[in-house]
Structure 1
Amino acid sequence: MNSTTNQRLAQLIWNIADDVLRDLYVRGKYRDVILPMTVLRRLDSVLAETKQNVLSTKKTLDAASIVNQDAALRQAAAQDFYNTSPFLLKDLRAASTQMQLRQNFEAYLDGFSPNVQEILENFEFRNQIPRLTKADALGTLIEKFLDPTLDLSPKSLDNHGMGSVFEELVRRFNEENNEEAGEHWTPRDVVKLMTRLMFEPIADSIPDGTYLLYDGAMGTGGMLTVADDTLNELTAGKKIDTHLYGQEINAETFAIAKADLILKGDGRAADNIKGGPEFSTLSNDAFAGKEFDFMLSNPPYGKSWKTDQERMGGAKSITDPRFIVEHDGDPEFSLVTRSSDGQMLFLANLIAKMKNDTVTGSRIAEIHNGSSLFTGDAGQGESNIRRYVMENDLVEAIVALPLNLFYNTGIATYIWVLSNRKQDRRKGKVQLIDATKWFTPLRKNLGSKNCELSAANIDAIMATFHAFDEADAEVSKIFDNADFGYYKVAVDRPLRLVDAEPGRVYKPAEIKALRATSERADAAPAVIKKLHKFGVVADPLRGLFEAEVDGKTRVVEYERDTELSDTEQIPLTEPEGEYASGIEAFLRREVLPYASDAWIDESKTKIGYEVSFTRHFYKPAPMRTLDEIRADIRALEAETDDLLSEIVG
């Protein structure tokens, strides 16, 4: 079945919407009827030959009072689905009234197997029946789908072809409703790039065997099916068996994904698709404890996950091992992000499902917006996730994609590529690829989408990825993992008050009273809050100063001035030089020359990670020459003189 035939069949189905639903539904709601009817027509065609076998098996099972009938009925239908009603779609045409047609159609729907029922329920298709019946459109709709020119039977259309027809319909409806498309539909060109980044580096070394593919925010399931196709293409000639797993919270898109797999003959895979409003990946992991070989996702950006957070007991009570991990000696290292944006938690979910005991390990490709690179302060969840993946050497590359590549947003997007089996040359390294200039303009915009990644564009990105060098530093740069890390250091200075007595140690209550009555001044005495025992060694950089107390030199601590408190962001790679640490070297060079009484509170030092594409790939606009500036000034002077002459004249 070629693509031209698939397009023709999709167009015939598309035309049914205009013929039957034009005055009954707004255009954006056609999909509520057309997609489930397409599914029903295909399933009906597939089940026609074994219908009588299913009915007789059902009768036998009922007579024997057997409750668990699903497996036997699937076997009778020779499919992973079945229908136990006495009807095929063509039989419904015999109804003499609209009411009888509705009753028979509902009985027909009720006869489908539980997996198909799940699709119908999430499509909310039964809610459309009263409206179609009232408008006398149900019979016409069924008649249109039974038209001989729309042959969806397996004799004329194999499973792959049917899947292509269905995906074409989904694509058209998504593009028709472009304001919603980006929520559920990642452009195929982007998915193709993601799957190549995920599979190509190890395609030649993947051994024969069974591999599990997973998407924790699967939308309509396109990523999984493209990934499956890409893996099979790249491993042609090998004995590769794949199993697809996915989870999706949106009911309709979950129904589309499950239906797509069933229509492609992947009924077993459809059983591994979990979804609906009760199946949020963050708060209700349908595959807890399961590990996967390949994972990819396009999670929602900037979407609050507060509801999930509350279901999990609140931000401070979360114990899910996906988000509370052991790292750097901390058994409760938190990856929990702020409730305003949960996108990075989807990455943490994938990381928790990586295989560590296989030759190929696990590979991940996930799309994020720019905030994933830098939001979250040191010690916060977003930064901790970046720290966790960098310090565990999981990130191979981050690819910056062109703007306006998605249907409903023009924001910057990035593909994160992760692996726990990095090539030797990539170990300890991260490659940043600026692919923002590699795109092909569309002839007609699709919402915010005005460009695409052509095959040549994808090849160029892949060539840069495989080269893993800085031959073209404008598009590819290689960094050590630690280059993205920094210490956030708290820097304090003494509270200096005019009325403070030099050499006097103040109690907390006295300091509070003194603050209320005295003025601050740079030349005033520093307020001493603690006196150390003899033998304690002074260390001004860490707040241990020498001062005269009762005529003796003692080691003291000063009350900090909250108005002068500040923080410094110091690279992890800061060289130590002659000092004990890079932090000390930085402070002695950059802080103490300007504030000699400053010290650091080491208890507040935190490690953070961020990635700045702008800093690494920034190209400043060339400065204008003096001759150009001089020429502009002379032109303005001449223009001014002409205007002045006109006024005076």
Structure 2
Amino acid sequence: MDHSVHHKIVSFIWSIADDCLRDVYVRGKYRDVILPMFVLRRLDCLLEETKEQVKEEVAFQMEEFGMPDQDPDALKEASGYVFYNTADICLKDLAGNPSQLVNNFKHYLDSFSDNVKEIIQKFDLYNQINKLATADKLHDVIEKFVSPDINLSSKPGKDPEGRTLPALTNLGMGYVFEELIRKFNEENNEEAGEHFTPREVIKLMTNFLFLEVKEQLPPVITIYDPACGSGGMLTESQNFITDPEGQITSKSAVHLYGKESSGETYAICKSDMMIKGNNPENIRFGSTIASNEFEGTRFDFMLSNPPYGKSWSTEQKFVVEGKEILQSRFEVNLPDFKGVHSFQKAYPSSSDGQLLFLMEMVDKMKSAKDNGMGSRIASVHNGSSLFTGQAGSGESNIRRYIVENDFLEAIIQLPNNLFYNTGITTYIWILNNNKSTHRKGKVQLLNAQDMYRKLRKNLGEKNCELTDDHVEELTKLYHQMADSEQSEIAKVFDNSDFGYHKVTVERPLRKSAQFTEERVSKLRFVAALQEQMEWIYQQYGEAVYEKETLKDHRKAIIQHFEDQGDNLTKKNRDKLLAQKTWDDQKNLMDHAQQIMANVGQKQTNDFNQFKGDFSKALKTLGLKLSPSDKNQILNAVSWRDENAKPVVKKVHSLSQVTDALSGSLEHLEDDNESLQDYGFWHLEGSKFTEYEADSELRDTENIPLNEDIHQYFIDEVRPHVDDAWIAIDKTLIGCEISFNKYFYQHKPLRSLEEVTKDILNLESETEGLLKKLVSFGEAK
């Protein structure tokens, strides 16, 4: 394939931007004109040879229906493409009639089929026409694009000197188009990462996706990208499969599918599909997260570089409403630590939606029964997809679902500064739902962070690249499933190595208690509004209990707190100024004073006994308090005390204990000692006491799945806190993948002698510099 022809076309078109747009557009905006005009010229060239057939069909439809495009299918058949233009003129005619240029150009655009008109709209071309016309540049641009010096036709042509200009095939057109997009993205690199993945990264992804199954490719191949951008990954995949000089050279029919939410980028992608003869209707516009555009469709291969670190909060209402998950692709069926399955959320926090695109692709996987090989996925992510989110979170559930279903085949860590607008570390995930036997239950990690070649000139943030040798080496390591404990590049793990139990460790709540006048007086105020209520009481005293006081002073009170920067919520403000709030709290304080008179003011470190005395006093006094009022009084007169006795929650029989734990630990019935590890202390006979947990002392431990929870607790926790226990019912299963953990290479510290020598050398150098400075000053 002669790429020199393509480079000449790219250079010529690039020169149009410099020659015609320099004084009208800033350099980063040249693409707004050049890309849509390039697309139009190619479509115009393709339609030239069937122009007469289309005219005849238009005349027939005018006579038959009174409309020029009443039967779009017939017009497509006449044009020989999935698009058409019903105008009598073409772009060359526009260049020959500058007096009516704007009107004629707009008429020409209006005469395209709807699929091309949509592209024109997304490109915002009508506004560009007006801008160019105002600057007297529109005719220049059109004249350049129809110049006989370049040939964008699918037929050979002649330049003004009579030299042959080769035909530009669809594949060649694709190379030219992608090269133009690349150059414009590099010029405008602050946006490049949103829709442009470096070519060598796509090459690595296609190697991993297709070479492993090149002998199993079905006769019809479908490829999908849910964040397709300008379509680079899709077309590169198609080229990789069909290129006669490539490693596969398959004769399979390839159908490309994609979705994109950026209007201009969508227009570029859809144009690309038209130009290369693919079906543009398979490219959809809109948010992949908000709507399941290809619901029910399954694909053979999927690859994507979704946006990462980007909020999806505006789309969240389409995914979840309250606790209800609205789209099944974002929920997964997972077992808990007892093996009980339930549906759980599979969506990340609203600040970063990249894993949603991965779940979209997982949802679209074919089974091996459908095509003989299942589906394969390659997706680029940043590091947060590997480890963010605690056990039970959406992020962890997604990783866990993928790993436990044995979909994850490999993850490749790429060098930093490989992409155009970010220097962060990125990773390629490879998924396969029909792993070969030697890969089943395994995940390969490849660390390519140090495999790069420096660029002579930075392209935005991109300062390095993967060479063909790097791509070949990584592909070889992947296909061989290379693994070495000592390797700094390739390691293989069992699926279970990435899972862990998140175990909650509790300690008993210990409280002392004592009624005092000071503590009881605090009940005059709601705890959450204590500071504000205290200020109001200081200002107005007992008058706050008079009916009109709060109403009369409402504005002044509100103004005071606003001046203090105390922005109360409406709910709290209304509660603060409600007469009922003050009356209820005063009644509660009065009741507490009665109870104090009955119980006394002696301090105790046995809160259990104190609660008993409290209950007896209520009965004696005939007071009926709500549970919340009781708790408010008890909380006001008690405090945490590490030397106090544990607070008892409930006393159980042995049978109640084992029933409550549902047999999750088979040894419990004949090992009463271990019951203490799960929150129950042996008292006497067959009775066990459950203590209240202190939330302030609560802690969690992440225990690898292949380790015994109970033994880990005995070995690692109990020696340090002998009153702790495991809250077994709160145990969760999580999943995370840490490259730093698996590829960390310890570097020993330098010896004291080496450090001392360096310090002395620096001092010596500094002393020499000082002498030179002093001598220079004396000489002057």
Identify if the C-alpha distance between structure 1 residues 546 and 73 changes in structure 2 by more than 3 Å, giving closer, same or farther: same
- Unpaired runs of 5+ residues, structure 2, are 156-166, 513-603, 616-626, 658-671, 770-780
Matches within 5 A, 1:467-482: 467-471=480-484, 473-482=487-496
Q: Specify the alignment match of 1:187 in structure 2.
A: 198
Which letter maps to 1:397? A
1:383 counterpart = 2:391: no
Q: Specify the alignment match of 2:374 in structure 1.
A: 361
Q: Specify the alignment match of 2:741 in structure 1.
A: 615
Q: 2:361 aligns with which of 350, 353, 361?
A: 350
1:89 counterpart = 2:222: no
Identify the range of structure 1 (11-20 vs 528-537) with the bigger mean alpha-carbon deviation.
Answer: 528-537
Q: Specify the alignment match of 1:301 in structure 2.
A: 308
* Distance of 2:418 and 2:759 partners within structure 1: 42
Q: What is the number of equivalent residue pairs in this alignment? A: 625
1:452 counterpart = 2:465: yes
Q: In the TM superposition, what is the alpha-carbon distance from 1:126 to its structure 2 partner?
A: 1.0
Q: 1:228 aligns with which of 238, 242, 246?
A: 238
Greater per-residue helix proportion: 2
Q: Specify the alignment match of 1:578 in structure 2.
A: none
- Please list the CA deviations of residues 202-232 of structure 1 after superposition, one character each: whole Å capped at 9, or x if unmatched: 11x3144111100000011000111112123
Which letter maps to 2:742? H
* Distance of 2:702 and 2:102 partners within structure 1: 69
The answer (yes or no) to whether the contact 1:92–1:104 under 8 Å persists in 2 is yes
Q: Specify the alignment match of 2:542 in structure 1.
A: none
The CA RMSD over aligned residues, in Å, is 2.4
Which letter maps to 1:272? N
Q: Secondary structure at the match of 1:355?
A: coil
Q: Specify the alignment match of 1:579 in structure 2.
A: none
Q: 1:522 aligns with which of 642, 660, 676?
A: 642
* Distance of 2:83 and 2:696 partners within structure 1: 70
Q: In the TM superposition, what is the alpha-carbon distance from 1:239 to its structure 2 partner?
A: 3.6
Which letter maps to 1:501? D
Rg larger for? 2
Identify the range of structure 1 (516-525 vs 80-89) with the bigger mean alpha-carbon deviation.
Answer: 516-525
Q: In the TM superposition, what is the alpha-carbon distance from 1:42 to its structure 2 partner?
A: 1.1
Identify if the C-alpha distance between structure 1 residues 535 and 444 changes in structure 2 by more than 3 Å, giving closer, same or farther: closer
1:206 counterpart = 2:208: no
The answer (yes or no) to whether the contact 1:400–1:415 under 8 Å persists in 2 is yes
TM-score, L = length of structure 1? 0.92
Q: Secondary structure at the match of 1:149?
A: coil
- Please list the CA deviations of residues 512-553 of structure 1 after superposition, one character each: whole Å capped at 9, or x if unmatched: 6444333433332111121224755652111111347xxx88
Q: In the TM superposition, what is the alpha-carbon distance from 1:630 to its structure 2 partner?
A: 5.5
Which letter maps to 2:183? R
Q: Specify the alignment match of 1:259 in structure 2.
A: 271
* Distance of 2:724 and 2:712 partners within structure 1: 13
Q: Specify the alignment match of 2:583 in structure 1.
A: none
Which letter maps to 1:301? Y
The answer (yes or no) to whether the contact 2:211–2:248 under 8 Å persists in 1 is no
* Identical-pair percentage: 49
1:404 counterpart = 2:417: yes
* Distance of 1:96 and 1:585 partners within structure 2: 87
Identify if the C-alpha distance between structure 1 residues 640 and 8 changes in structure 2 by more than 3 Å, giving closer, same or farther: closer
Q: Secondary structure at the match of 1:271?
A: helix
Identify if the C-alpha distance between structure 1 residues 312 and 467 changes in structure 2 by more than 3 Å, giving closer, same or farther: closer
Q: In the TM superposition, what is the alpha-carbon distance from 1:511 to its structure 2 partner?
A: 6.6
Q: Specify the alignment match of 1:646 in structure 2.
A: none
* Distance of 2:176 and 2:759 partners within structure 1: 64
Q: In the TM superposition, what is the alpha-carbon distance from 1:136 to its structure 2 partner?
A: 1.7
Q: In the TM superposition, what is the alpha-carbon distance from 1:629 to its structure 2 partner?
A: 4.4
Q: Which runs of at least 4 in structure 1 moved beyond 4 Å after TM superposition?
A: 233-238, 502-515, 533-538, 629-643
1:542 counterpart = 2:542: no
- Please list the CA deviations of residues 276-300 of structure 1 after superposition, one character each: whole Å capped at 9, or x if unmatched: xxx1001112211100000000000
* Distance of 1:497 and 1:558 partners within structure 2: 12
* Distance of 1:593 and 1:348 partners within structure 2: 43
1:287 counterpart = 2:294: yes
Q: In the TM superposition, what is the alpha-carbon distance from 1:423 to its structure 2 partner?
A: 1.3
The answer (yes or no) to whether the contact 2:319–2:330 under 8 Å persists in 1 is no
Q: In the TM superposition, what is the alpha-carbon distance from 1:200 to its structure 2 partner?
A: 1.3
Identify the range of structure 1 (498-507 vs 484-493) with the bigger mean alpha-carbon deviation.
Answer: 498-507
Identify the range of structure 1 (214-223 vs 40-49) with the bigger mean alpha-carbon deviation.
Answer: 40-49
Identify if the C-alpha distance between structure 1 residues 482 and 162 changes in structure 2 by more than 3 Å, giving closer, same or farther: same
The answer (yes or no) to whether the contact 1:500–1:527 under 8 Å persists in 2 is no
- Please list the CA deviations of residues 30-84 of structure 1 after superposition, one character each: whole Å capped at 9, or x if unmatched: 1111111111111111111111210110221232228752211111011221100
Q: In the TM superposition, what is the alpha-carbon distance from 1:416 to its structure 2 partner?
A: 0.3
The answer (yes or no) to whether the contact 1:397–1:430 under 8 Å persists in 2 is yes
The answer (yes or no) to whether the contact 1:406–1:449 under 8 Å persists in 2 is yes
* Distance of 2:20 and 2:692 partners within structure 1: 79
Q: Specify the alignment match of 2:713 in structure 1.
A: 587
Q: Secondary structure at the match of 1:64?
A: helix
Identify if the C-alpha distance between structure 1 residues 587 and 132 changes in structure 2 by more than 3 Å, giving closer, same or farther: same
The answer (yes or no) to whether the contact 1:326–1:333 under 8 Å persists in 2 is yes
1:310 counterpart = 2:312: no
Q: 1:326 aligns with which of 333, 342, 346?
A: 333
* Distance of 1:229 and 1:622 partners within structure 2: 48
Identify if the C-alpha distance between structure 1 residues 396 and 206 changes in structure 2 by more than 3 Å, giving closer, same or farther: same
Q: Specify the alignment match of 2:516 in structure 1.
A: none
- Unpaired runs of 5+ residues, structure 1, are 575-581, 644-649
Q: Specify the alignment match of 1:29 in structure 2.
A: 29
Q: Specify the alignment match of 1:335 in structure 2.
A: 346
The answer (yes or no) to whether the contact 2:318–2:326 under 8 Å persists in 1 is no
Identify if the C-alpha distance between structure 1 residues 501 and 314 changes in structure 2 by more than 3 Å, giving closer, same or farther: same
Identify if the C-alpha distance between structure 1 residues 125 and 531 changes in structure 2 by more than 3 Å, giving closer, same or farther: same
Q: Specify the alignment match of 2:586 in structure 1.
A: none
Q: Secondary structure at the match of 1:545?
A: strand
The answer (yes or no) to whether the contact 1:500–1:526 under 8 Å persists in 2 is no
